[in-house]
Amino acid sequence: MEVILALVIVTGATAVILNLSRFAERSPLSVSSLEYINTQSKYQALLLGVAVAVLLAIYFVNEANFSAFLVPGNIAAPAKGVSWLGISEGESWLSLGTSLSVFITLATSTFVYLQFRNSGGGLRQIARFIPWILLFSVTNSFSEEVVYRLGIIVPLVGSVDTAYILLISAAAFGAPHFRGMPNGIVGALMAGLLGWLLAKSVIETNGIFWAWFIHFLQDIVIFSAF
């Protein structure tokens, strides 16, 4: 029953998210003369609305888990070992989270650079948009972590084996990125692995800090490119 509830919440939210751009483009509201900033501002406002709806849903599904995971958590908690990723048993999430923040951001930067290298943009052009980049990165990372991490973890922890929870989060996060950024098969696989790691961080630290922070850094790279 818990799995069905989690899937309904996340697939329903995803279906809405995939159509938010159309609503944002049609909205007559304007916050900027620049089309991308104007559309993205409306998209992020709508996305936050989806996140709030998911928060309400998972609160009623499992109030105890909701209160347990919607916190920063113990950012130095011991991690469970994953040999194929080089994660040692008992390694502190403080060092692991820091390392993942650097390496995953470098990987995302490389992938995004290869896709945008012929756009003609540069760091000087990005500088004046830093406030917008940071704002969009905060709202987007928080909203997506609510949907694709808490939306799965809160209903399932305590009822479903952790290994399955991680796989569900990976699949739920990776699939929409086939059309997102990073995109294509490689982008979806990258996002799936990221979703797996971020869900692992939430469960093992009993909090959302590392998942949100690592996601936030990736969004800085992506919004800078756009």
The residue assigned the tokens 């990165």 is 137
Residue 217 and residue 101 in contact, taking contact as beta carbons nearer than 8 Å: yes
Tell me how crowded residue 165 is: count the other CB atoms within 10 A of its CB. 24
Is 103's pLDDT higher than 90? yes
For the chain, the average pLDDT equals: 90
Torsion, CA 226, CA 136, CA 190, CA 105, rounded to 10: 90
pLDDT tens for each residue of 106-119: 988 888 877 766 66
Which of 48-57, 183-192, 210-219 is predicted least confidently? 183-192
Note the Cα 139 to chain centre separation in Å.
10
pLDDT of residue 59: 96
Non-local (6+) Cβ contacts of 22 within 8 A are none
Non-local (6+) Cβ contacts of 39 within 8 A are 21, 24, 25
Q: What is the pTM of this model?
A: 0.91
85-107: average pLDDT: 94
- Give burial (CB, 10 Å; 0-12/13-18/19+) of 84: exposed
Note the Cα 146 to chain centre separation in Å.
8
